[in-house]
Structure 1
Amino acid sequence: MKFLKHIPTYLLAFLFLFGGLNFFFDFVPAPPLSGNQATFFNLMVPTGFMRIVKILEILGAVLLLFPSKRALSLLILTPIAINILLLEWLVLGGLGAGPLLIILIGIIAYQEFDKFKALL
């Protein structure tokens, strides 16, 4: 049963790794966008901003796999997850994976609480 505590970490790593790599290799093509959605992404992608975010997602996902680097990984991935949640809610008009990302980060942060004590 000890392996159960690792499920949130591996699931979060998979989601961010898949999302980051999908940006570069287009495993699952994105649906066509219109209106505010298209405007938002037409500003973010050509500037290179999304490329940097996706590289950070991949880096954060890989760091999650190393127990000694999980706190650092959460410091990278938490702001991205919050932005994903806000993007889904405010721009895309619905919720997708954002709430799940926040919940998984919360679980892992609780498991790694000792590493964050100095910040409190």
Structure 2
Amino acid sequence: MKYLKLIPTLLLAFLFLFGGLNFFFEFVPTPPLSGNQAVFFNLMVPTGFMTVVKSLEIIGAILLLIPSKRALSLLILTPIAINIVVLEFLVLGGLGAGPVLIILIGIIAYQEFDKFKALL
């Protein structure tokens, strides 16, 4: 049962680590973009904004793997996940992994609830 609780954490860490590292090393090619998608990413990538976001994804994923730093990790990754959902819905025209990220974050936040009590 103890290891079952780690599944959401490991899955979320993998998703963010994979997404962050793929931006820098592109081991899975990005599909061609058109329309609003292309406009959006042509603004975000050259400015360095995506470099900052993807670096935060990697840092957040690594912090997730350290039990004492999970709450801090969620404070970094939650706004990114919310923006992913908004991006998928408004720019890409459909939902992808964003809702899964939000669900996993919710599960981990529930598991780490004691660390967030002071914020409520």
Task: Give the structure-1-normalised TM-score.
Answer: 0.99
| Counterpart mapping for 1:55-74 below 5 A | 55-74=55-74
The answer to whether residue 9 in structure 2 is matched with residue 30 in structure 1 is: no
The letter for the 2-side match of 1:15 is L
The answer to whether residue 117 in structure 2 is matched with residue 117 in structure 1 is: yes
Partner of 1:102: 102
Task: Give the structure-2-normalised TM-score.
Answer: 0.99
Per-residue CA deviations over 1:8-61 (Å, capped at 9, x if unaligned) read 000000000000000000010110000000000000000000000000000000
Greater helix content: 1
| Counterpart mapping for 1:8-19 below 5 A | 8-19=8-19
Return the alpha-carbon distance in structure 2 between the equivalents of residues 51 and 89 of structure 1. 22
Deviation of 1:98 (Å): 0.1
Return the alpha-carbon distance in structure 2 between the equivalents of residues 28 and 53 of structure 1. 18
Partner of 1:49: 49
Return the alpha-carbon distance in structure 1 between the equivalents of residues 58 and 49 of structure 2. 15
The letter for the 2-side match of 1:8 is P
Per-residue CA deviations over 1:63-92 (Å, capped at 9, x if unaligned) read 000000000000000000000000000000
Deviation of 1:2 (Å): 1.4
Runs of 4+ in 1 over 3 A off after TM superposition: none
Deviation of 1:6 (Å): 0.5
Q: Secondary structure at the match of 1:30?
A: coil
Return the alpha-carbon distance in structure 2 between the equivalents of residues 29 and 48 of structure 1. 19
Q: Secondary structure at the match of 1:106?
A: helix
% identical aligned pairs: 87
Size of the aligned set, in residue pairs, is: 120
